[in-house]
Amino acid sequence: MKLPSFRNKQAQESFPFPEDDTPDHIAIIMDGNGRWAEKRGMARAAGHKEGVATVAKIVRAAADARVKFLTLYTFSTENWKRPKTEVEFILKLPKEFLKSYLPDLISNNVRVEVIGDMGKLPVFTREAVQYAMDRTRDNDGLQLNIALNYGSRQEILSAMKAMLVDMNNKDVSLDELDEQKFSGYLDTAGMSDPDLLIRTGGEKRVSNFLLWQLAYTEFWFTDMLWPDFSEEEFLQALQEYRQRKRRFGGV
């Protein structure tokens, strides 16, 4: 599959609104691939494959907008319940995406990271994402977080276990614990919390995604299925975000 390249520097400089108005961190629940295919009388796998092209477009748009973190909900801990053939196909897509697109990510200073439990993923998936992480480790532009075998409840439970181990080892005391310290045990340690959550596909729920991190995130929902989601829709979400007043509990 031929994936689109990034726009050039001139396109970035002509972005429709100032960098200061752009969310630092955008999280996306990419919903609707299977339904997109079924509506067209195609196998669900075709929708997942089409969704890969949308990922390429939105990563490009986020980089153009100078977003610092883009977190994509790619495969959840609950997705193992799907038919085996569909699961196997989805878990091959990161390798396909990175094989085609990694050169552009490298040349455009994008850093690839993964959140979730990689230990349970197939070897070919782990090797592909690990290679991409190694090759982009020194990049300091957009950080693309691929959420693979990710579930927020499991993440929080694992963080609590790690924190208790440190407490038992006297590496941290009860008095030291606060929200910032606990956040350091999560998969997103070192990142800002999402400013904006986008969900495609018409559903209006967070589906076990970044439950701790979304405490004050702005939500933006669209009925558009993920394969149809465009750069224009992405810009519309950013434009609406700019118009919201974020008070964080204040007035």
Distances (CA, A) of 125 to 75, 128, 207: 12, 5, 23
User: Which residue's entry shows tokens 């181990």?
Assistant: 165
CB 195 within 8 A of CB 218: yes
The alpha carbon dihedral of 82, 229, 112, 238 has a sign of negative
Alpha-carbon distance 160 to 172, whole Å?
13
Residue 79 is a catalytic residue: yes
**153 assigned binding-site residue:** no
Annotated binding-site residue? 220:
no
The dihedrals phi and psi of 74, each to the nearest 5 degrees, come to -95, -45
**Which residues lie closer than 8 Å to 132 by C-beta, 6 or more apart?**
98, 102, 105, 112
Instruction: Check the annotation: does 212 bind a ligand.
Output: no
Does the annotation list 36 as a binding residue? yes
* Residues contacting 174, CB < 8 A, separation 6+: 167
Across-strand partners of 75?
148
> Is 47 annotated among the ligand-binding residues?
no
Does the annotation list 82 as a binding residue?
A: yes
Is 66 labelled a binding residue? no
* Catalytic-labelled residue, pool 21, 24, 79, 109: 79
- Per the annotation, does 126 bind a ligand? no
Q: Is 35 annotated as a binding residue?
A: yes
Q: Which of 8, 20, 24, 31 is catalytic?
A: 31
Ligand-binding site membership of 59 (annotated): no
Q: Has 14 been labeled as part of a binding site?
A: no
Known catalytic residue: 169? no
Picking from 205, 161, 167, 169, the residue whose alpha carbon sits closest to that of residue 186 is 161
Q: Is 33 annotated as a binding residue?
A: yes
Q: Is 25 annotated as a binding residue?
A: no
3-class SS of residue 214: coil
126: left (phi over 0), alpha (psi -120 to 50) or beta: alpha
Q: Binding site for substrate: what residues are annotated?
A: 32-36, 44, 48, 76-78, 80, 82, 199, 205-207
Q: Binding site: what residues are annotated?
A: 31-36, 44, 48, 76-78, 80, 82, 199, 205-207, 218
Q: Binding site for Mg(2+): what residues are annotated?
A: 31, 218
Annotated catalytic residues are 31, 79
